[in-house]
Structure 1
Amino acid sequence: MAIKIDLRSDTVTKPTAGMLAAMMVAKVGDDVFGEDETVHQLETKLAKMFNMEAGLFCPSGTMTNQIAIKCFTQPMDEVICDQTAHVYRYEGGGIAYHSMASVRLLNGPRGIISPELIEPEINDENIHYPNSSLVVLENTVNKGGGACYHLSQIEPIHTLCNIKGLKLHLDGARIFNALVATGDTAKHYGQYFDGISVCLSKGLGAPVGSVLLGSKETIKKAVKIRKAFGGGMRQAGFLAAAGIYALDHHVERMAIDHDHARALSAALNQVNYVALVLPVETNIVIFEVALGFKAESIVQLLAEKGIVCTAFGPRAVRMVTHLDISSEMIDRAIETILHLHPSFHK
């Protein structure tokens, strides 16, 4: 039986042998008591990498994002983000539930927003309006097909936020994919953001966890919010060790995932059941099916051939490459894509 090729997400990866070995020898303690030295090592490592003061290890990127939003807003404030943003679409209404803030949605090209889009939506001081207090960027943009911000795009947003008195947070779910693609360096990010969420369990391949980076004051506040959210972990060093290993061994190899995504895109652009493939910058491929075809039908047919992906709406399909996908798997996926014959639906 052929091996299943799982392109649903880069969250499906399994720890490598080297990562498992590092986890098994991790030095651990009770992290709620602040005694897990491997967690401290991970938090310090990432904080230094991004030129931030401190970090906080959490179970998920949703938690780090929601903690950051709660740190940077008050009830009746408003968060500005793109309408595709993960913090808005895929975090269970957490902005309203946890922070009692409203959301001002923008419509940037492939989820990339700019000062020109942000500034007109910053509310004046008025009893009728919520207080604009936070801008959230996502890098890379999931629903934008892995579109990247360059630092040259982030700097003017930071400047605008400073002038207007707003905080700036980065949902860095796939920040290392962005860094590999753009050539920007992590150390330059800290000067632009009040908070950065770095996910370890996507392209980096760790099994669990994200780290929130910020000032010492922000992270002190975040620790208490994490506790209230139920995110305090005990001997979490076993998980933190996986994150450290990933940072040391799995960053540069992301370029392979990007090459694989481009190869899939090239194949998809050759078939009649695909109308449009979003430009591929990193490891996400999103394509729209042609008129007369259904996304779910395409996904089902591919699954029957051992290629597993995700319908991203009635006419859109997403494929995501990652470290568990080999070149041989990509070749097989391409062969399947090129020879698939989906039914036409009126």
Structure 2
Amino acid sequence: AEPQRAVLNQFAAEHDLVTGQYYPVVRGRLVSVNDEQLQQEATKEQRSEQRVGIGRELNLTWLAQLPDNNQVVSGAWFDAKSSAQVSVESEIAQRLDIKLGDTLAFSIGGQQLSATVSSIRKVDWNSLQPNFYMILSPDVLADFPATYITAFYLQPEQNLLLNQLARLMPTVTVISVDNIIQQVNSIISQVTIALSFILLIICCAAALVLVAQVQATLEQREQELAILRTLGARHAFLRNALLLEFSLLGGLAGLFATVLAESMLFIVQQRAFDLPFTLHYTLWWLGPVLGIVLVTTLGWLQLKRLMRIPGAVLIRRVLQS
């Protein structure tokens, strides 16, 4: 609460902690857009043309300065003369079809107030800083009782300070983002292990397909070898031709796998996580090399016995078949 800000600032100063900006927070619900009542919850049975709302209360705040991790993409931020205005986050604006100049009505503690949309903001949700869907001009919520939220970085060796903070201000809620990140990392590790097993199964299946393909063409390869030996081809020439065939096949397979992997990583990083994409140069040589080694090894193991058969015996087998 407002009186506790001074206590928290003193605690932070005593322990060399740097707190971020304090954001006032008021809980409220968006109830209408341009006097059009929002449907708070959409179900399969409700097929009306009524605009669907957010379905829960929002954390509303009021600020005079644009937060560092926010960028105005349309409209203008509040100035000293702004009155009853609201800035809307771009994704929620697109979802609710909110445009500049629209009038939004909020219900806060049984009271209803309205504000005009003056700007649309793009928010960096990965900043680990407090972010808001709706930011109102200071004149709208200044008279409402508010709680405050802030963020600070705590060194790992200072974790015991959280216990001191809880004893000093038992009514303050402390959220450790580090614990959340550890849980997310644990989930990602488990998913990675599961995907690795799936990849291993796929590789084994691909190897079986290659073996089956070679076995299916074994009779045809016997005929080809018999013809080439009749024409005077030597053992070294035939061996090198087979190794070259499987090397090209493995190299193309590895290159295709690398291109597909990079394409999927690009889509996931750009579309899902909004992260910058960088090429993984190691994959561009590792993929083809592994493909060449694996395919050539499997192919040669299947055909080496065929290569050791004497030419006369091989021609006799082909003629008899």
The TM-score with structure 1 as length reference comes to 0.23
Higher RCO (CA 8 Å, separation ≥ 6 residues): 1
Normalising by structure 2, we get a TM-score of 0.24
* Higher share in helix: 2
Larger radius of gyration: 2
